[in-house]
A = this chain, B = another copy of it.
């Protein structure tokens, strides 16, 4: 049985979902993959929960379900920093779940650098650090002989990145087209059904699909960050956010709205890479036909199509598009770092 030491940073919606999934799947991972998941610490900005033995998840979930309550846990150490944790536990995986800033990459970028330097593998749901310094982080991981995985940062449980890196190995990717943001796709789907933008956004917010401040989503930047990461990974490339022409859904031209409502057509916000174009990366509104492989991707669902030389076109759709899906994607990445039986 391989021991897998884990530090979780960030206990928001995704961090908590990951904690819950690890708790549910501990026995399954032992049996199926021979991996003993040992979560030693939940680290926050002002301190950390840390015990010398792996945390008792059922106890924590029952007694200290929220971050504020967690601070009342006797194992809560005010002011304990990630840096100290990284050096006091035998290296395993750092799981990064803090809210990410796509311009500074912080606070995640700093966490990731510390972890990689300390010989820890990294699995991240935060997009920011990778958007800001993809190349640097990859090189740091390589230098220290550890892995940097980020399925949870690209599309939660939709295996966009597995497709790009693993399933299309050996093929050259010419084009990528993805519906990568649940909020915008939900709004566009409801607008096709007759709602106006404001109604649809409010509904998405009331259902917990859209954030209270939805600007990163509806202005296209979340999609831009994801298509950037997927493209850089698929092509081993170095594009930055500045290379992307970004359009959102806040001011949809009337002719697109009308066309998108026609029978057999749909208006979608697509993140796109195309090798042949002068501006190879863009996020833009497109009216797609029924024959398009992403036509049926509705509501908060996501999907992505890769077009390649030797394998032609492959599309993957679905995958739980919520914190639990992201938590499951983080666990998947951990398993795939360590497993021997593949």
**Residues of chain A having any CB pair with chain B under 8 Å:** 21, 24-25, 28-29, 32-33, 142, 147, 157-159, 162-163, 165-172, 236, 290-291, 293, 295-296, 305, 310-320, 324-325, 327-329, 331-332, 334-336, 339, 341-342
Q: CB-CB < 8 A to A310: which residues of B? A: 21, 24-25, 157, 320, 324-325, 327-328, 331
Q: Which of B32, B33, B311 contacts A319 (CB 8 A)?
A: B311
List 6 extra interface pairs beyond A168-B332, A311-B328, CB under 8 A.
Answer: A158-B314, A169-B336, A293-B296, A310-B327, A314-B316, A314-B317
Q: A290, A291, A311, A316 — which one has the most chain B CB atoms within 10 A of its CB? A: A311
A191, B158: Cα distance in complex, Å: 33
The answer to whether A171 touches B328, judged by C-beta atoms less than 8 angstroms apart, is yes
A229, B296: Cα distance in complex, Å: 28
A-B contact pairs, 7 of them (CB 8 A): A159-B314, A166-B167, A167-B332, A169-B336, A293-B318, A310-B327, A317-B317
**In the complex where A157-B312, A310-B157 touch, is A162 in contact with B170 (Cβ < 8 A)?**
no
The answer to whether B159 touches A332, judged by C-beta atoms less than 8 angstroms apart, is no
Q: CB-CB < 8 A to A291: which residues of B? A: 296
**In the complex where A162-B162, A296-B295 touch, is A28 in contact with B172 (Cβ < 8 A)?**
yes
3 closest Cβ contacts across the A-B interface? A159-B167, A310-B328, A157-B311
**In the complex where A312-B318, A325-B311 touch, is A331 in contact with B170 (Cβ < 8 A)?**
yes
The answer to whether B25 touches A332, judged by C-beta atoms less than 8 angstroms apart, is no
Q: Which of B162, B314, B327 contacts A166 (CB 8 A)?
A: B162
Q: Which of B157, B324, B335 contacts A314 (CB 8 A)?
A: B157
A296, B291: Cα distance in complex, Å: 7
Q: Which of B147, B313, B335 contacts A169 (CB 8 A)?
A: B335
**Nearest-CB distance from A162 to chain B (Å)?**
4
Q: CB-CB < 8 A to A334: which residues of B? A: 170
The answer to whether A320 touches B312, judged by C-beta atoms less than 8 angstroms apart, is yes
Q: CB-CB < 8 A to A328: which residues of B? A: 170-171, 310-311
A271, B231: Cα distance in complex, Å: 33
Q: CB-CB < 8 A to A315: which residues of B? A: 316-318
The answer to whether A165 touches B342, judged by C-beta atoms less than 8 angstroms apart, is yes
**In the complex where A157-B310, A318-B293 touch, is A335 in contact with B170 (Cβ < 8 A)?**
yes
A236, B158: Cα distance in complex, Å: 22
Residue of B nearest to A291 (CB): B296
Q: CB-CB < 8 A to A29: which residues of B? A: 170
